[in-house]
Amino acid sequence: MENQNPDYAYQNVVQIEESSLSKRYLANVFIWMFVALGISAFVAFAFYSSASLLSIIVDPNLHRLTGLGKIAIFAPIIFSFVISFGFNRISYPTLLGLFIAYAVAIGVSLSIIGLIYTAGSIFGVFLSSALVFGIMAIAGYTTTMDLTKFGSILIVLFFGAFIVSAVNYFLGSAQIQYILSFIFVAIMVGLTAYYMQALKRIGAGIEYGSQDSKKLVLIGAYVLYTTFINLFMSMLSIFGNKK
């Protein structure tokens, strides 16, 4: 029997439009996320395969980080704060430049893991991380459960674990870092689902073509890219085979 209720028709039109907007937004988010991953991979390989470039961040004689190497390690954190807190104040071209610089800084940092872990384990953990990330992203996109409160708790736990990790950087406790790796993996797995649901909702409510919509795409890509990198590094600390 044909439904003559105009509200029913309107609701379905709105749902279809929101779904289309969300998919379009998320598609652009993932494109920029993959661009960032590509930039980081290229920079990491360039530094690792070039002795002259690698010597800038790792002293070949002392086998420890140089002054610039330490700056490279902490540079992504600085970029993260600038991107996160300066979103509303900076223009799209500036945000784009910061996003690319952030990916480059991550790439420089990642070049060091080639000196610590075997190439096979890096590749294996990367694929495993991508699989876990993909599964949780799909779960976050398709679930009908509201993950807002769950995500808020995870964000608080992340900052708590991050502070402990920063302190442990100076303490140098391998046992604490090993435990933190498991905690970070659990947090990143949950945050992947939470962020996907949040980005899905953002995509349904933005108006394309404006500068703000472009900035929201970059912010979404930054969030997912950062979550994936943290997941990958945490899993590598647990499952990676050292040289």
CA-CA distance, 182 to 174, in Å (whole number)? 13
Is 2 a member of any domain?
A: no
Nearest alpha carbon to residue 189 among 121, 237, 110, 134: 134
How many residues comprise the chain?
A: 243
CA-CA distance, 145 to 155, in Å (whole number)? 18
pLDDT at res. 210: 57
Of all residues in the chain, the percent with pLDDT exceeding 90 is 50
Q: What is the pTM of this model?
A: 0.85
Is 4 a member of any domain?
A: no
Average pLDDT, the chain: 85
Judged against a pLDDT cut of 60, whether residue 203 lies above it is answered with yes
Is 131 a member of any domain?
A: yes
Judged against a pLDDT cut of 50, whether residue 12 lies above it is answered with no
Is 61 a member of any domain?
A: yes
Is 75 a member of any domain?
A: yes
pLDDT in tens, 21-54: 778 889 999 999 999 999 999 999 999 888 888 8
Tokens 């404006």 sit on residue: 210
Is 64 a member of any domain?
A: yes
Tally of domains within the chain: 1
Domain that holds residue 107: 9-239
pLDDT in tens, 113-139: 888 899 899 999 999 999 999 999 999
pLDDT at res. 61: 77
pLDDT in tens, 43-85: 999 998 888 888 888 887 777 888 888 888 888 888 888 888 8
